[in-house]
Amino acid sequence: MANRAKVVELAEGDRERPGRLSTCATASAREHVRSKALLYKASGWTDAAVADKMDVSVDTVRRCVARYESGGPEAALADAPGRGRRREISESDRLWAVSLACTKPKDVGRPAEFWYPASFAAHVREVAEAQGHPRMARVSETTLRKIMDEAKVRPFAVTYYCERRDPDFDRKAHDVLVVYKQLRMCVDADGNLVAEPTDGEGRVVHTHTCDEKPGIQALAATDEGRPPVPGGDAGGRPSPHRRDREYARLGTLSLLAAIDLLTGVAVPMVSDTHKSSDFVAFLRKLDGSYPKGDVIRLILDNHSSHVSAETQAYPDTVPGRFTFVFTPTHGSWLNLVESFFGKLARQMLRGIRVSSKKELEERILLYFDEVNEVPVPHRWTWGLDDIDLGAEDVDAIPLEVVNRKACRPEDRGKRAPEPPRRRRRAKASA
């Protein structure tokens, strides 16, 4: 007997969901098959034609149609309650797997620092039976991933934070903010300088944010590269700069920089090394940039070159010339020069190729010349509303001259000892 086509009459609005699922890339295979079957039947196809088209049995098509006629599109597209394989993994098994994922691999005799999907699955299967969870001895990596997702645990990912290890963090951060507040009071709403900050003796104070950027690599290109071509590339895409991935290392340079927070003028110094002697040379450069009798105040971090004995000795040679305000440990974000270094890296250093370290130095200094043509003062705003200068003694903030030893009351103002000098041996007489 000929297979007559039974047309399924889809009610108004019942076509929307089957039509959406039939073309949805994230729909399950069952939803896709059932949606297409309903749409084909609504177009007058026979059960056999639909089954052949979808590569399923005729009974599957008939069940789908019957479920639609009895319960609508929801009943036809979804599995009936209670269908499918019962969950074999108990809640106890799941809790055990989650607890194991929250331990470190080294604590259970594994060499890795953190779990990875394959190693975690292998370990679970290895120890499951001995620890009273025999079903987990044949669990798959995919299943373990699902268990972790349900528990909202990510043992395969690592995020980092910075612990506050400075007991004086709040005080030091407050001191830096007080200095920023003093500088903000020296400009009007339009950013125009209306007064210069002074200390208790009436001396002008020039405040700088200061830091180093070591390890700037001088990289040389292996060929000339290819510039952009108007009209795009062969595929019609916009044409970028193209260069060989290979490069030659020529060494590294260190950049010392300070920015005058009132004028925005940046003072650079490039060196081959990153030592205390370089920082002292930079202080000498700042000393020659301002009138004698003025005070140069530096906001800087606690790098060893800033607190060394060699650095301590230099301010003693120019009494009252320099004061230091240290940011707290892990508080470099309080130093405005860090944002300037980020801008430098993005605008000039990213992808740079040079022929020598000398060229790299020249281009860095040229960048500073361009910046200083139209200097932009850096203004700090966060946290200043809580600062009351009327209740602060700004001159008492830079108590730490260079390091903790120099801050002790009994040592304050003392000149650092001269470094030992070797005596030359007299030449033996012939």
pLDDT in tens, 187-232: 887 778 888 888 888 899 999 999 999 999 999 998 888 888 888 8
Same domain (yes/no): 220, 115: no
One domain, residues 57 and 105 = no
181 and 296 inside one domain: yes
First CA to last CA across the chain, in angstroms? 130
Residue 232 covered by a domain: no
d(CA 5, CA 424): 113
Instruction: Express as a percent the part of the chain with pLDDT over 90.
Output: 47
- pLDDT for the residue numbered 143: 94
Check residue 427 and give its pLDDT.
Answer: 53
Examine residue 82 and state whether it is found in any structural domain, yes or no. Answer: no
**pTM of the complete model:** 0.64
Q: Is 13 left (phi over 0), alpha (psi -120 to 50) or beta?
A: left
354 and 210 in a common domain: yes
Which of 77, 107, 124 is the C-terminal boundary of a domain?
77
Q: Report how far residue 269's alpha carbon sits from residue 156's, in angstroms, rounded to the nearest whole number.
A: 44
Residue 164 domain flag: no
- Are the C-beta atoms of 250 and 218 separated by less than 8 Å? yes
Q: Are 96 and 131 in contact (CB under 8 A)?
A: yes
Q: Could you tell me which of 45, 35, 44 has the C-alpha nearest to residue 15?
A: 35
CA angle 24, 27, 32 (to 5 degrees): 85
Same domain, 300 and 334: yes
Is 161 within a domain? no
**Per-residue confidence (pLDDT) for residue 171, from 0 to 100:** 86
For residue 18, pLDDT beyond 60: yes
Query: Is 371 a residue whose pLDDT tops 90?
Result: yes
User: How many structural domains does the chain have?
Assistant: 3
Final residue belonging to a domain, choices 77, 108, 126 = 77
Average pLDDT of the residues of the chain: 84
Q: Is 30 exposed, middle or buried (0-12, 13-18, 19+ CB in 10 A)?
A: middle
Q: What is the mean pLDDT of residues 12-25?
A: 74
Q: Residue 183 is which amino acid? A: L
Could you please report the per-residue DSSP string of 38-96? HHHHHTT--HHHHHHHHTS-HHHHHHHHHHHHHHHHHHHHSPPTT-SPPP-S-HHHHHH
Task: Check if the beta carbon of residue 194 is closer than 8 Å to that of residue 186.
Answer: yes
- Residue 163 covered by a domain: no
| Whole-number Å distance between alpha carbons of 63 and 127 | 45
Cα–Cα distance, 38 to 36 (Å, whole number): 5
The CATH number for 401's domain is 3.30.420.10
Say if residue 217 is in the same domain as residue 143: no
Same domain, 298 and 400: yes
Q: Is 288 part of any domain?
A: yes
User: Both 266 and 327 in a single domain?
Assistant: yes
Distance (Å, rounded) from C-alpha 328 to C-alpha 324?
13
Q: Which of 49, 77, 105 is the last residue of a domain?
A: 77
Q: 137 and 66, same structural domain?
A: no
Residue 10 falls inside a structural domain: no
Question: What's the pLDDT score for residue 406?
Answer: 41
Residue 332 lies in a domain: yes
Q: What percent of the chain has pLDDT over 70?
A: 88
Clarify whether residues 338 and 403 are in a common domain: yes
| Domain, as residue range, for 301 | 169-225+243-407
Strands 205-221 and 295-300 come out as parallel
Q: Are residues 23 and 139 in the same domain?
A: no
Tell me the pLDDT band of 402, cut-offs 50, 70 and 90.
very low
The per-residue pLDDT for range 325-364, each reduced to its tens digit, is 999 988 888 999 999 999 999 999 999 999 999 999 999 9
Pair (259, 323) in one structural domain:
yes
Q: What is the pLDDT of residue 39?
A: 83
